[in-house]
């Protein structure tokens, strides 16, 4: 039960992965270490070199014992990103990223979209109070389960199927998670989003389960939006949202839009969570091959993901210090180019580490 205690060394698995994952994760580690040493808390960080290089070298993706080892020996996992043009079918990414999400049963993907500085939103006349919602994405079902296949592949008569799996238990637990999260964070509103007007079976199940679950949370205001309207409303008036709960695919898409409303993908953190179990934290962004290796990627999404992780592990003050450092860097313009600054990835990490340890 990692998040219930803050005593003892925390064992954290670190998987930088591919592309800018290998640039931003070392910065997040640097900032975490700075805070931990300033506050005298014990973090034990163990790195795993899984990613495209390793896969191309010896065929390793997610080793068979990884899940058992993480469950028994680790409190949390910090992941960068996976994706490399040399692996066009993303085989290693599917095994490592999806493998960990599915096999560790990390059913709630929590993606806060919080505007830290009004200058960062592309929306006119919006400030910090308007953009502070969280997308809670179902993370173990939907069209991500990998069920389907090809028939007559490569011919003119080819058929491809991709199943969308929705279970009563899976839908119910993510809805309950969203309501509990809302209560725990002192918020009042949950919006469930689906496409039940078109997906007459899978999302009918979402509708019926939502109708049943919301009755248990009379203190929370429940609403529903079709996903096309949801994305439009997020842009039109983001202040109407506090917690959005939706399926795997829609949550993936909505959280990139939400990230941009709050300043961009470079800033967005996420947690893949199963309460009480070893959970995994990562920036929302991918491996960004166009900018990888140039030292310009924004490390803040990774730093904020590490802060989410520390909070999950009960290191709440350490987490706050990291967040405060990010806010300070933004307000003082100590940022990478995506946020209008002129720092490189490493310089931005150095600045955050210095600020976080003195905060």
* Residues in touch with Mn ion (CB under 5 A): 252
Contacts 24+ apart (CB under 8 A), 228-236: 228/195, 230/191, 230/193, 230/254, 231/257, 234/258, 234/261, 235/123, 235/261
Binding mask 325-344 for ligand NAD (x = CB under 6 A): -------------x------
Q: Which does 111 bind (CB under 5 to 8 A by kind): Mn ion, ligand NAD, ligand IPM, none?
A: none
Residue number with CB closer to Mn ion (2 or 269): 269
Neighbours of 69 (CB within 10 A): 14
Taking the complex as a whole, how short is the minimal distance between the CB of residue 111 and ligand IPM, in angstroms?
A: 8
In SS3 terms, 174-236 reads as HHHHHHHHHHHCCCCEEEEEECCCCCCCHHHHHHHHHHHHHCCCCCCEEEEEEHHHHHHHHHH
Taking the complex as a whole, how short is the minimal distance between the CB of residue 314 and Mn ion, in angstroms?
A: 28
- Estimate the crossing angle of helix 21-39 against helix 345-358, to 10 degrees: 20
Residue number with CB closer to Mn ion (27 or 252): 252
Residue nearest to Mn ion (CB): 252
d(CA 243, CA 132): 9
Q: Which does 338 bind (CB under 5 to 8 A by kind): ligand IPM, Mn ion, ligand NAD, none?
A: ligand NAD
Residue number with CB closer to ligand NAD (60 or 233): 60
Taking the complex as a whole, how short is the minimal distance between the CB of residue 44 and ligand NAD, in angstroms?
A: 24
Positions marked active-site: 144, 195, 228, 252, 256
Taking the complex as a whole, how short is the minimal distance between the CB of residue 81 and ligand IPM, in angstroms?
A: 8
Residue number with CB closer to ligand NAD (4 or 290): 290
Q: Which does 323 bind (CB under 5 to 8 A by kind): ligand IPM, Mn ion, ligand NAD, none?
A: none
Q: Which does 262 bind (CB under 5 to 8 A by kind): Mn ion, ligand NAD, ligand IPM, none?
A: none
Q: Which does 143 bind (CB under 5 to 8 A by kind): Mn ion, ligand IPM, ligand NAD, none?
A: none
Q: Which two tokens stand for residue 120?
A: 């960062």
Taking the complex as a whole, how short is the minimal distance between the CB of residue 355 and ligand NAD, in angstroms?
A: 19
Site for ligand NAD, residues 265 to 324, rule: CB under 6 A: 265-266, 282, 285-291, 297-298, 301
Chain residues in the site for ligand IPM (CB under 6 A): 83, 93, 252, 284, 286
Residue number with CB closer to ligand IPM (19 or 93): 93
Sorted by sequence, the CB contacts under 8 Å of residue 81 that are 6+ apart come out as 17, 18, 19, 20, 21, 282, 283, 285, 286, 287, 288
Q: Which does 265 bind (CB under 5 to 8 A by kind): ligand IPM, ligand NAD, Mn ion, none?
A: ligand NAD
Q: Which does 348 bind (CB under 5 to 8 A by kind): ligand NAD, ligand IPM, Mn ion, none?
A: none
67 φ, ψ to 5°?
-65, -45
Residue from 243, 258, 245 nearest 184 by CA? 243
Residue number with CB closer to Mn ion (252 or 318): 252
Taking the complex as a whole, how short is the minimal distance between the CB of residue 221 and ligand IPM, in angstroms?
A: 28
- Number of DSSP helices (H) and strands (E) in the chain, helices first: 12, 12
Residue number with CB closer to ligand IPM (132 or 143): 143
**Count of residues making up the chain:** 359
Site for ligand NAD, residues 88 to 107, rule: CB under 6 A: 90, 97
Sorted by sequence, the CB contacts under 8 Å of residue 262 that are 6+ apart come out as 113, 114, 115, 116, 120, 121, 131, 268
Whole-angstrom CA distances from 210 to 112, 168, 178, 186, 194 are: 22, 10, 11, 21, 11
Q: Which residues pair with 76 in a beta bridge?
A: 12, 279
d(CA 358, CA 351): 11
Q: Which two tokens stand for residue 215?
A: 């009755």
Taking the complex as a whole, how short is the minimal distance between the CB of residue 140 and ligand IPM, in angstroms?
A: 11
Contact footprint for ligand NAD (CB under 6 A): 20, 24, 81-83, 90, 97, 265-266, 282, 285-291, 297-298, 301, 338
């Amino acid at each position: 039960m990692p998040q219930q205690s803050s005593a003892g060394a925390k064992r954290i698995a670190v998987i930088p992965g591919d592309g800018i994952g290998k640039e931003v994760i070392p910065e997040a580690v640097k900032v975490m270490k700075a805070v931990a040493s300033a506050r005298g808390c014990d973090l034990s960080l163990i790195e795993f070199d899984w990613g495209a290089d390793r896969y191309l070298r010896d065929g390793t993706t997610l080793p068979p014992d990884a899940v058992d080892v993480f469950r028994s020996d680790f409190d949390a996992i910090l992941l960068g990103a996976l994706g490399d043009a040399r692996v066009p079918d993303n085989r290693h990414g599917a095994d490592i990223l999806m493998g960990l999400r599915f096999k560790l049963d990390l059913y709630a993907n929590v993606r806060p979209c919080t505007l830290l500085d009004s200058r960062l939103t592309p929306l006119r006349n919006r400030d910090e109070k308007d953009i502070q919602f969280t997308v809670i994405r179902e993370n173990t079902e939907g069209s991500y389960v990998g069920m389907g296949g090809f028939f007559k592949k490569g011919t003119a008569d080819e058929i491809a199927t991709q199943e969308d799996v929705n279970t009563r238990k899976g839908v119910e637990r993510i809805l309950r998670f969203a309501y509990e999260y809302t209560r725990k964070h002192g918020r009042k509103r949950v919006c469930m989003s689906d496409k039940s007007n078109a997906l007459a079976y899978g999302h009918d199940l979402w509708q019926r389960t939502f109708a049943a679950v919301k009755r248990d949370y009379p203190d929370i205001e429940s609403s529903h939006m079709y996903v096309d309207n949801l994305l439009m409303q997020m842009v039109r008036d983001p202040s109407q949202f506090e917690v959005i709960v939706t399926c795997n695919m829609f949550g993936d898409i909505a959280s990139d839009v939400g990230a941009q409303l709050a300043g961009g993908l470079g800033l967005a953190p996420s947690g893949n969570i199963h309460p009480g179990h070893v959970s995994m934290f990562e920036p929302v962004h991918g491996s960004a091959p166009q900018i990888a290796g140039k030292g310009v990627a924004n490390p803040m999404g990774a730093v904020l993901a590490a802060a989410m992780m520390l909070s999950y592990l009960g290191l709440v003050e350490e987490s706050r210090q990291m967040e405060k450092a990010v806010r300070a860097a933004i307000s003082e313009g100590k940022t990478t180019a995506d946020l209008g600054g002129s720092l490189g990835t490493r310089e931005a990490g150095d600045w955050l580490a210095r600020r976080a340890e003195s905060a």
